[in-house]
Amino acid sequence: MPDTHAPDLVHFRSADISLIIERRGDALPRILHWGPDLGELTDDDLSAYALAQIPQRVTNSLDTFTPVAVLPEHAHGWMGTPGLSGHRDGTAFSALFQVTSSTVDADHGHRLVVAATDDAAQLDLDLRIELTPAGLLRQRATVRNTGSGTYTLDGLVLAFPVPARATELLDLTGRHLRERSPQRAPFTVGTHVRENRRGRTALDASLLMMAGTAGFGHRSGDVWGVHAAWSGNHRMLAERMPNGECVLSAGELLLPGEVRLATGQEYTTPWIYGAYGDGLDELSRRFHTHLRSRPHHPTSARPVTLNTWEAVYFDHDVPTLKRLAELGAEVGVERFVLDDGWFRHRRNDTAGLGDWYVDEAVWPDSLHPLVDHVTKLGMEFGLWVEPEMINPDSDLARAHPDWIMRAGDRLPPEFRQQQVLDLGNEAAYAYILERLDALLSEYRIGYLKWDHNRDLVEAGHAPGGAVAVAGVHRQTAALYRLLDELRARHPGVEIESCSSGGGRVDLGILERTERIWTSDCNDAVERQQIQRWTNLLVPLEMMGAHVGPSTSHSTGRHHGVGFRAGTALFGHLGIEWDLTAATEDELAELTAWVELYKRIRPLLHTGDVVHADHPDPALNVHGVVAPDRSQAVFAIVQTATSLHAPVGPVQLPGLDPHARYRLTPLPPGDVVAGHTRSSLPWWADGVILPGRMLAENGVQAPTLHPERLVLVQAQRLA
């Protein structure tokens, strides 16, 4: 799409999105429009639009109205949260930057690069504002101390203005085994803040802070959202001012004294992303398209994964593990992952973290016999690690107690019988790098399940016994450096971000990993919601989704193979089940589901995810539509008992409205109850309907028992 650049205004267009930026005078840039594409605009159009946005002056207000900048400044009259917070021993508390250069970087697509300075505060500022090919708006800022003393940075957040018609907020919360629970609230005057101080992205973190028109859903309503691509402490805000201005903003949350800039030193924010959509599905699709367009995004078929955790826990009996691998290979597994318990002193979760050597007492012949057995069966071998943690009961903690993060002489409270290893300590960092590098060099390991099982409490950095300072920022940066170095040394190894399940899910960690473990809960009912809302940010091929045992270890619910496998199908499918205890019928049914996954994963992992906004909360209808709209797969999921029976028509969105489709049940997901098929008239032979009718009117759904699902496929007719 052609861009327009008037002297003081920039109009970027990409993927049906328009971004209009005002850069008038020496003030920091302001976003005048971020949302639906406005088409081609002339310079006169842009100037007229900017003029038309200036409000009338009212009583008891500033004499001159200044729109909020991407870095909001109190000095310009912004009475909400300032973009930059900091001081020089109490002075230079309010920055006022003057732009020294503003350049449209044509070599990198839709990018505006701005340099500014505040001579009084002795600070320089660099801003980058980009509209990506996927239609995402992203911003990043660097602040630099040009003065002679120390500048203490307390915070730096970047703002994304949204229109006043965005009157409703949506964010996510949760806990261990129940991540990604949506919560809505009116977007009223004031500040709605979500702050995370857990030292990792967190189980209760909101992937996005979203604002939209009242009642927005998956398929309708204007909605805007922001995301901080950072795996440590962060904050997201939604602010509505009495004058009608509204912004979403985000940035890293800095602990007291965490960033102190000496002369010449600088701090750069993580990328802060913004997405607009006509409904949540479109907003989500922009993130998926962006991730899939990266050069390093995984493009090979996502292998069916068997993880040993819920099958054996710490009972690492080699013959049992070999038998488990054999059964996995028989049902179609392509990757076998040995979970926790393989290293020294690790017979339970109270000891051994940090002692990253194969336990000779359990593995007298090392891991080679199991690795060789797995690879001979045609599977890739993977290994669980938790490098950032340390048990006080470990050889490492006894040898190097100073490597534990702490706030002075006292240790933080234990969390799962473990403390945090200070990766900001160069000696500790070097030890972990050497151990992981040695394991990856010795064994044929194609995959690391990288866990992180506790929040960071009093995460102090005190190398060499020095006075402790807050260390979460340093720890997060060291983690990124460690992952980058390991990937450089072992480019063929894939890494999963696991953090008590979904505790570290963000675009910062996804730049360095191929998969996230969506939740430690494999209960299919819980997973329906957890996966639905995690998928708001993360595409299906990066979401670990496993078929757990018949009775869930975390909830006690009992489900058949079909409901468990049909739920795990919509992700990166795996198995976390003691297959040695499964019946022949269960193994046969599981094999059929694995075969289906392999057949349709090219669609699942490249297509657009869609959700029907069905009025019945007990019914979840979702699917994946091919980018060219030639085919689609939908799941009709009965999570609970419906008020009405039958439930009525279900809409199947996302298809080409002008094409005709043959809709048929998709085996083995065509079983309605036990071994019976539905008595619906269209179910046996399918039905042919236009895409518009399937989306608007839908089809009658089969009547399902609670906690059951069926699959249907749509094939476009020539």
Q: Which residues are catalytic?
A: 451, 520
Residue 371 is classified by DSSP as H
Packing angle of the helix pair 426-442, 472-489 (nearest 10 deg): 30
- How do the residues of the chain divide into helix, strand and coil, expressed in percent and rounded to 5? 20, 30, 45
User: Max Cα separation, the chain?
Assistant: 82
Q: How many residues does the chain have?
A: 718
Q: Please name the residue that has the structure tokens 């008239």.
A: 681
Q: Is the Cβ–Cβ distance between 240 and 190 less than 8 Å?
A: yes
Q: Is the Cβ–Cβ distance between 256 and 312 less than 8 Å?
A: no
Q: In sequence order, which ranges of 402-493 are alpha helices (DSSP H)? A: 426-442, 472-489
Q: Rounded distance, CA 217 to CA 261, Å?
A: 44
Say which amino acid occupies 191. T
Q: Is 300 helix (H, G, I), strand (E, B) or coil?
A: coil
Q: Rounded distance, CA 211 to CA 609, Å?
A: 21
Q: Is the Cβ–Cβ distance between 454 and 415 less than 8 Å?
A: yes
Beta-bridged to residue 656, according to DSSP, are none
Q: Is 186 helix (H, G, I), strand (E, B) or coil?
A: strand
Q: Is the Cβ–Cβ distance between 617 and 697 less than 8 Å?
A: no
Q: Rounded distance, CA 283 to CA 275, Å?
A: 6
Chain centroid offset of residue 392 CA: 31
Q: Is 686 helix (H, G, I), strand (E, B) or coil?
A: coil
Query: Which residue, among 115, 112, 141, 125, has the nearest Cα to 10 in the 3D structure?
Result: 112
How many C-beta atoms lie closer than 10 Å to residue 430's C-beta? 10
